[in-house]
Amino acid sequence: MSRTLFIADLHLCQQEPAITAGFLRFLQREATHCDALYILGDLFESWIGDDDPEPLHQQVAEALAALPVPVYFIHGNRDFLLGKQYAARSHMQLLPEQKLLELYGQRVLIMHGDTLCTDDEGYQRFRRKVHQPWLQRIFLMLPLSLRQKVAARLRNDSQQANQHKSMEIMDVNPQAVEQVMQDNQASLLIHGHTHRPEIHTLTVDHQPARRAVLGAWHQQGSMIEVNTDGVRLIAFPW
């Protein structure tokens, strides 16, 4: 059966070797048997530049490059600095922050999902700031050790800020979802970021539509499969 797979929010890092091992098994068992694999951001817990010699990054790049199917990547809020050099090593094609696909007769819109969380105004201000190209260029010119310290500080600040935010604020805004689907005439939206796996039914332009949300890989694997029969959200042990 023809099928396309989507994953997001693995947050791979040295401190969680079990998740990395589960991801590598997923690539061998599932991703080799699909039309294409789409990674919708936060593959890594953090990213401070393609020149980071972290062995984990090389291990993942080699595993992705070995896949016999196309691999596509949309940046997340944790790994938005992942660049062309690493993508080339991994044989991944970088996509814009949102992409419209024609899959098995469906118009499918894909994105990481953080841009939909418009009620979190503080995060959206921070996002606009760190996505300034000039600021990214300056950051990537810093010594690796200094970049590591800055990234650790930002992660700590983010964790503290999120402790004081309501669950509703950190979820997607329904109007933002409807607007982006309407703008793209999409019947299916797939995203991650919120770590709230579910397939939601909704109405867009008086037509039935769905929003499929990927889960994070903290306790188990999560993938979305789109095929000729529709869409499935699948959780599995890693």
Identify any residues that bridge with 5 across adjacent strands, giving them in sequence order.
Answer: 37, 225
User: What confidence score (pLDDT) does residue 170 get?
Assistant: 85
User: What confidence score (pLDDT) does residue 87 get?
Assistant: 98
User: What confidence score (pLDDT) does residue 156 get?
Assistant: 84
Report whether pLDDT(228) > 90. yes
The residue-averaged pLDDT of 220-230 equals 96
What is the average pLDDT value for the chain, to the nearest integer? 95
pLDDT band for position 165 (cuts 50, 70, 90): confident
User: What confidence score (pLDDT) does residue 106 get?
Assistant: 94
Report whether pLDDT(98) > 80. yes
Report whether pLDDT(196) > 90. yes
